[in-house]
Amino acid sequence: MNGWFLLYAAGCMQAGLLALTLWQRRGNSHAARLLAGWMALLFVDLGVRAWALTQVPLVGFKPTLLVGLFPFLHGSLFYLYVRTVIHDRPLRARDGIHVLGFLFALLLTADLFLLPAGEAMAALRSSHTAGFAGRSVYLNIGLFAYSLSYIAAALLAIRRHRHHLRSTRSDSHPDALRWLVVMAVSQCVIWAVALGASALPGRMVGFSPDLCRGGSVGAAGGLLPVVERRGGKRRAGVSH
């Protein structure tokens, strides 16, 4: 059986169970609900990837192409999660601005969704053979820059909140946010690995930009539950 199928299927089940657990938790916080939604997104992402591996390429191409754009949501979701943990307030309508990166990427690839699957696959292959002129290269660069900018914004928000706690001599200890910093650093490591993989020659056996993105999503899905358990007991003390 394909090793990628096992990886995606395991990550899908883990994300689904965690999403249900977080959503049904008593005294659910806004941050827990947001994380549940994030895990639900990972559930769909990895589930579609696992399903596509059991289908012929023409059948699984467009669903896989769509979830291949989901990583444009992960950076902004991490920032929103950090902000919600700090302030414990729900999302607002104006937070919809944080999905613009995903919508822009969707717009750039809209022609592939409108074409028949066979023609779209041929167009994508010709794009890859064009080297740095290929759209996948620009999408990868945009993805990494966009995601890392959100991680930087999240770290800045953490720094400001810790400074606020120290200056006001709050009962909440600034180090209570350290687990969020660990999450941010882990996200950076994941994206660095994905960036390094995407820079490898395409002639390498089994290499594909979509597999690279899927690996980063799977790593995030395995990391978040661990950090969530470590930080859960501290979360109530850092909001204000």
The per-residue pLDDT for 178 is: 80
Q: What does the chain look like in DSSP terms, one character per residue?
A: --HHHHHHHHHHHHHHHHHHHHHH-TT--HHHHHHHHHHHHHHHHHHHHHHHTTS-HHHHHHHHHHHTTTHHHHHHHHHHHHHHHHH-----GGGGGGGHHHHHHHHHTHHHHHS-HHHHHHHHHHHHHTGGGSHHHHHHHHHHHHHHHHHHHHHHHHHHHHHHHHHHT-SS-GGGGHHHHHHHHHHHHHHHHHHHHHTS-TTSTT--HHHHHHHHHHHHHHHHHHHHHHHHTTGGGT--
CA dihedral 25→29→33→36, nearest 10 degrees, is -50
Please, what is the angle between helix 135-168 and helix 100-108, to 10°?
180
CA dihedral 180→99→10→56, nearest 10 degrees, is -160
pLDDT (tens place) for every residue of the chain, 240 residues total: 577 788 888 888 888 888 898 888 766 688 888 988 988 998 999 899 899 989 888 898 999 989 988 889 988 999 999 999 888 888 999 999 999 999 999 998 898 899 898 888 887 777 655 544 566 777 878 888 898 899 999 999 998 988 887 777 665 665 667 878 888 887 777 777 766 666 655 433 333 444 445 444 544 554 555 445 544 444 444 444
The per-residue pLDDT for 174 is: 58
Token readout for 210 is 């979509």
Q: How far apart are CA 115 and CA 83, in angstroms?
A: 40
> Integer distance in angstroms from the first to the last C-alpha of the chain?
50
The per-residue pLDDT for 237 is: 44
The per-residue pLDDT for 7 is: 81
Q: Could you tell me how far CA 1 lies from the centroid of its own chain?
A: 26
CA dihedral 164→229→216→55, nearest 10 degrees, is -140
Note the pLDDT tens digit of each residue in 166-211: 777 665 665 667 878 888 887 777 777 766 666 655 433 333 444 4
In sequence order, which residues have a C-beta less than 8 Å from that of residue 60 and are 6 or more positions away? 51, 52, 53
The per-residue pLDDT for 215 is: 46
The per-residue pLDDT for 235 is: 45
Whole-model pTM: value is: 0.81
Note the pLDDT tens digit of each residue in 153-166: 999 999 898 888 77
The per-residue pLDDT for 199 is: 60
